[in-house]
Amino acid sequence: MLDQLLEWSPNFGLDTLLLLPVLIALEAVLSADNAIALAAIAQGLESEQQQKRALNFGLIIAFVLRMTLILTASWVLKFWQFEVAGALYLLWLVYEHFSSDTDEEDHHHGPKFASVWRAIPIIAFTDLAFSLDSVTTAIALSDEVAIILLGGTIGIVALRFMAGLFIRWLDIYVYLEDAGFVTVAFVGLRLLLRVINESWVPPAWAMVALIAVVFAWGFSKRVETQDEAEPVSLKVPVIRTAEADEEEEEKVLSGE
């Protein structure tokens, strides 16, 4: 999607500046799988304060790594090993997610972290692996590195807020975490296909449609609360009349 929009702009002057909000919005939409992966990693920490700190510090390091990737993309593109390494890392995250036991209390897959500092590098390198797909494509099509740097900066900020939202949503929707990692697998396979044969890479609209379907499934079921799980029984009070009491007394006296 990003590469198609860049092709529509013949030069990177005013046209690109006007196109930048659209690019940022698209990056935010297409980074949903990235955000949910980061949120799931942060959930490996116990407290909400630790999760926020891990996301903040992790994305600061991710920002530095992403800017470095943009500035060195012309060199990185010469080595297909980087894309293979990113793809294998993402697929390893997917394997770790689906092969690990589920925590029955919070429905969380994946490892638990004893401290914030153990989660930070995982968050940073996960974002870097996702960046290999979009950033290298943008740099390959554009000579205006400043525009790509600006878009990447705003994208990191948007990613932080999206990950914060997903941390709350993961506790509400049953299938959302699984759906997010299914889309992570799509990104990993896309990177592998690009290395093997770029013509095999599915078009952007097909990827967006597929991700939309998977996320629709992810939001399809909410976690049942205790009030919803236990049906409420309504007790209807029995109103007794004087005639009913007299009839009951006669039955007792008659031995019935």
Q: pTM value?
A: 0.74
- Nearest alpha carbon to residue 73 among 84, 62, 65: 65
Q: What is the pLDDT of residue 58?
A: 92
* pLDDT band per the 50, 70, 90 thresholds, residue 1: very low
Q: Is it the case that residue 101 has pLDDT exceeding 80?
A: no
Higher pLDDT, 115 or 134: 115
Q: What is the pLDDT of residue 4?
A: 47
Higher pLDDT, 63 or 6: 63
* pLDDT band per the 50, 70, 90 thresholds, residue 26: low
Q: What is the mean pLDDT of residues 128-143?
A: 70
Higher pLDDT, 97 or 133: 97
Residues 210-254: pLDDT tens digits? 888 999 999 999 987 655 555 545 554 555 555 655 666 565 555
Q: What is the pLDDT of residue 106?
A: 54
Please provide the average confidence, as pLDDT, over all residues in the chain. Answer: 77
Q: What is the mean pLDDT of residues 110-137?
A: 84
